[in-house]
Structure 1
Amino acid sequence: MNKIVERASAPTPKFFKVLRTIGLVLATVGTAVLTAPVSLPVIVTTVGGYVAVAGGVISAVSQLTVEKNEQPD
């Protein structure tokens, strides 16, 4: 458990920062579609759910990615 906390607080590489931002946007859009106050077709809400989950997973994985600075033996 301690390693996960260390990874989450370690610096994230630039590519994964961009990917994390994209994931957060996807999660936000998916959530907005799911919570829309109007009635949407079933396919739209289904896709919105998948987009929200995918965005959350992308963001979580990107946040836990760190650079390995160790030299090989």
Structure 2
Amino acid sequence: MNIVQRAKAPTPKFFRVLRSIGLAMLAVSGSVIATPVALPLAIVTVAGYVAVAGGVISAVSQITVDNSSSSVQANKEIQNKARDGD
């Protein structure tokens, strides 16, 4: 299964929630970094790390696939190929 198929496949509920949390972390840290007010360097540094963590969490959660649905989809594809070949 390649990356595009994994991204399009159904994601388990836990990882959908985790993806949303990662996107929220990314949004909040991005707004802290882009604030026009001068913030202490430590806050901006932590916001940068939170942005990276949020991006990684979201990316990993997006490509996590529910095994039961992916195996069902794979079986359907095999059956379709076998039917077309006959």
For normalisation by structure 2, the TM-score amounts to: 0.77
The structure whose residues are more often helix, as a share, is 2
Q: Which residue of 1 aligns with 2:19?
A: 20
Q: CA deviation at 1:68?
A: 1.3
Q: Tell me the distance in 2 between the aligned counterparts of 1:4 and 1:32.
A: 30
1:42-62 residue CA offsets vs partner (Å, 9 max, x unmatched)? 000000000011000000000
Moved over 4 A (4+): none
Larger gyration radius, structure 1 or structure 2:
2
Q: Which residue of 2 aligns with 1:37?
A: 36
Paired-residue identity, %: 61
Gaps spanning 5+ residues in structure 2: where? Answer: 72-86
Q: Give the paired residue count.
A: 69
Match for 1:37: what amino acid?
A: P
